[in-house]
Structure 1
Amino acid sequence: MQFKTLKVTVDPRDVATVTLNRPEKRNALSAQMMDDLTEMAQTMGADTTIRAIVLQGAGSVFCAGGDLGWMRDQITANRATRVAEAGRLADMLGALNDMPTPLIARIHGAAMGGGVGLACVCDVAIADDAALFGLTETRLGLIPATIGPYVIARMGEGRARRVFMSSRVFGADEAKELGIVARALPAADLDTAIEAEVAPYLQVAPGAVGAAKALARSLGAVIDRATIDETVEALTHIWEGEEAAHGLDAFLNKTPPRWATKPD
């Protein structure tokens, strides 16, 4: 299976490793990567021989969030394009969330913005204890819109509100407390911890696993088409605002946005 922005391998046990493979861009979610992840989820999710999938990132970080060039393009795009691009991101998250195959995140370095969203659509996430996390959208004049349903489902509203709006960066121990990750441990122990998550799936019926996962989703937070469409509309709307244009311009030009107070 070949993708432009992903590296996919399958071991003799039928355990797949999917690597976000834009290390030079800190694995930021470009339009191509969104399409690749959607296709991967649909294709591998339909492959009943795959027992589990490990999602990881190449290079220094797991995922730095949305690609800034892609986000900047939405500021000058027409509304139809903005809606389509917000839908592209939403559909990717939905495809990953809905796939019947167990999905395990291996997080190192950092997971920011959409990277937190990826962690929250996985069934379990294990992190390097030095990894950093943050829902950093409001710093740019944006909001965590399309990832929002999955973040709230994972953390619960009360815990999510601690970090959902502030763009505060926090460590792996707090990510564990918030429910984003199940375990945070030294980088040297990550592979062993991932193997411990994979191993049980080699002893259970794949069809039953998929059915149990679907049941868990149906009993949890409702993330239906109406919910997803609401997040698409919210992201489209925020892209049309003056704050987003100013925030992205300031970030790309390495200047402080007007809302950032100067240090004493």
Structure 2
Amino acid sequence: MPETLMISIDERGVARLTLARKDKHNAMSAEMIDELTEAASALGSDKRVRAIVLAGAGKSFCAGGDLEWMRAQFQASRAERIAEARRLAMMFKALNELPRPLIGCVHGSAFGGGIGLISVCDTVIASEAARFGLTEVRLGLIPATISPYVVARIGSSAARSLFVSGRMFNAAHAKSIGLVASIVAPADLDRAVDREVDEFIAASPQAAARAKALVRSLASPITDEIVESVISQLADSWETDEAQAGISAFFERQRSNS
């Protein structure tokens, strides 16, 4: 049984994949990354599953990278950082290539890797109170591993603005750039997701899988070479003086606030 996820499948064949580190705002640890990769494989091959809802327990959808996971990267060698970045990249690849519809249910905060998760969903319903941010540059880093999926989702114009500024944005802006498909009142989120699920499970499962593959084949391909390039660029950014200073200051603030 996974430690960082909750997985259930109802009588309709709708799987609910819930990030379950609510005390950490569902920040992604190495364990969660591995468990999400395994869940993608298991649910994608389970013939009972017609659609998958990706959600977060507690107050947030996903706050990005876990603090301890980041601390380990700060202290790691280049080879170790590349290995961890590849682990993360393979998780996003597995979720992106799921042969089942993946529907995002987003509330609270979605930062960094959380936006990566949103970007590999086929559609996303968000609470109008949700907050978003790609704040890596404020630590001296770049949103490298998630970037192929985020750019594919929102386009290079919106990505330039958000990647380079690192600013926070609200659900209305997320909808305007195509990151989420619709926004609803917090109390209506689950009902809105259920309505969206009904639309997806009305489709033939095999045709839906082929349609997802068709869209990927017509879009700009996210090749192995692109994945390896962004992994290397992330490792490069970790080695800069800016990143070392920014991450050190971040950890110091965390200690002061604890």
Provide the C-alpha distance between the structure 1 equivalents of 2:87 and 2:177, rounded to a whole number of angstroms.
27
Query: Aligned residues: percent identity?
Result: 52
Provide the C-alpha distance between the structure 2 equivalents of 1:112 and 1:165, rounded to a whole number of angstroms.
15
RMSD across aligned positions (CA): 1.1
Q: Tell me what 1:201 maps to.
A: 200
Could you list the runs of 5+ residues in structure 1 that have no partner in the other structure?
A: 256-264
Deviations 1:147-181 (A, max 9, x none): 00001000111122121111100100000001110
Q: Tell me what 2:44 maps to.
A: 45
Aligned 8 A contact 1:138 1:166 in 2 = yes
Deviations 1:189-220 (A, max 9, x none): 11121011110232221111111101101111
Aligned 8 A contact 1:75 1:244 in 2 = no
Provide the C-alpha distance between the structure 1 equivalents of 2:61 and 2:211, rounded to a whole number of angstroms.
28
Provide the C-alpha distance between the structure 1 equivalents of 2:63 and 2:220, rounded to a whole number of angstroms.
26
Q: Tell me what 2:105 maps to.
A: 106
Provide the C-alpha distance between the structure 1 equivalents of 2:18 and 2:68, rounded to a whole number of angstroms.
21
Q: Tell me what 1:232 maps to.
A: 231
Query: Is residue 172 of structure 2 the alignment partner of residue 173 of structure 1?
Result: yes
> SS where residue 230 of structure 2 aligns?
helix
Provide the C-alpha distance between the structure 2 equivalents of 1:226 and 1:251, rounded to a whole number of angstroms.
32
Query: Is residue 68 of structure 2 the alignment partner of residue 69 of structure 1?
Result: yes
Deviations 1:81-100 (A, max 9, x none): 11100101111111100111
> SS where residue 161 of structure 2 aligns?
coil
Deviation at 1:22, TM superposition (A): 0.4
Query: Is residue 8 of structure 2 the alignment partner of residue 5 of structure 1?
Result: no
Q: Where is the helix percentage greater, Structure 1 or Structure 2?
A: 2
Deviation at 1:48, TM superposition (A): 2.3
> SS where residue 164 of structure 2 aligns?
coil
TM-score when normalising by structure 2:
0.96
* Alignment-mate amino acid for residue 35 of structure 2: D
| 1:79-90 to 2 correspondences below 5 Å | 79-90=78-89
> SS where residue 163 of structure 2 aligns?
coil
Provide the C-alpha distance between the structure 2 equivalents of 1:242 and 1:95, rounded to a whole number of angstroms.
33
Provide the C-alpha distance between the structure 2 equivalents of 1:242 and 1:49, rounded to a whole number of angstroms.
50
Q: Please, which moves more after superposition, 229-238 or 74-83?
A: 74-83
Provide the C-alpha distance between the structure 2 equivalents of 1:183 and 1:33, rounded to a whole number of angstroms.
27
Could you list the runs of 5+ residues in structure 2 that have no partner in the other structure?
A: none
Q: Tell me what 2:14 maps to.
A: 15
